[in-house]
Amino acid sequence: MTMKAVDGDEMVRAEDVVKRFGHLTILNGVSFTVKRGQVVVIIGPSGSGKTTMLRCINHLEKIDGGRIYIDGELLGYRMVNGRLVEDSDAAISRVRSQIGFVFQRFNLFPHMTALENVIEAPIHVLHQSREEATERAMELLAKVGLAEKANSYPHKLSGGQQQRVAIARALAMNPKLMLFDEATSALDPELVGEVLKVMRQLAEEGMTMVVVTHEMGFARDVADHVIFMDRGIIVEEGPPEQVFEHTSNERTRAFLGMIREQ
């Protein structure tokens, strides 16, 4: 039995999410929603639970409490005889295949060219023909400004180029939701802009995105909604202008002050 969330306009709904590692509680009752076409940016200090929350959204981490819905469908669990049980691997994989994830480290296959990295999943997961997957991959590499690097191996690419290939690879699965986990934090400063440019373009095209980042300019300019997390809880959330310019929360103000001084 598939459990449906109420609002059909919601792409992500997190309800009282709890995640523990041993005796350490990383997420302590986190709730938020992401509307279709919305860009939600999660900010906060290291260790606040941002990355763990992102990994829970596509079930890379199993939650210990609460519920997460993706496009109205309960993720990772199903109801049997009135209680929640873990869903099948096949059902979890089906939902996860609709979620693009761009990691801090690029995670490209080193023995494959940029093009081969992008077509791998569409061929083996979506069962596209090599011709169809290649045509789409070349469109996506052009979209991220790397058409001429299609036959280059990752070690021949800069960090920014590798991350843009990783974005193209995620988009090749035609996701309904994109997750970005500090996608620019492993890059040299001069390469950050080329990745943020692609992310801005996706936002302008209406891609639903949840972005964990330390790039406050991106958060201020591109986000529809900003969530500030600290110590496993949401301290404050709202439109960028409210969080960045008019916060009355001491913890938010202290964090932003610390970021501005760096």
pLDDT at position 6, please? 46
SS3 208: coil
> Exposed e or buried b for every residue in 36-62, given b needs 16+ CB within 10 A?
eebbbbbbbbeebbbbbbbbbbbbbbe
Take residue 209 and report the two structure tokens written for it. 């995105």
Tell whether the model's pLDDT for residue 1 goes beyond 80: no
pLDDT band at 79 (very low <50, low <70, confident <90, very high): confident
pLDDT band at 81 (very low <50, low <70, confident <90, very high): confident
What letter does residue 214 receive in the DSSP assignment? S
Tell whether the model's pLDDT for residue 262 goes beyond 70: no
Q: What is 88-144 written as a DSSP string?
A: PHHHHHHHHTTEEEE-SS----TTS-HHHHHHHHHHHTS---HHHHHHHHHHHHHHT
Tell me the mean pLDDT in the region 68-88: 88
Encode pLDDT of 111-147 as tens digits: 999 999 999 999 999 999 999 999 999 999 999 999 9
pLDDT at position 186, please? 84
Tell me the mean pLDDT in the region 65-70: 93
Encode pLDDT of 194-242 as tens digits: 999 999 999 999 999 999 999 999 999 999 999 999 999 999 999 999 9
pLDDT band at 3 (very low <50, low <70, confident <90, very high): very low
pLDDT at position 261, please? 56
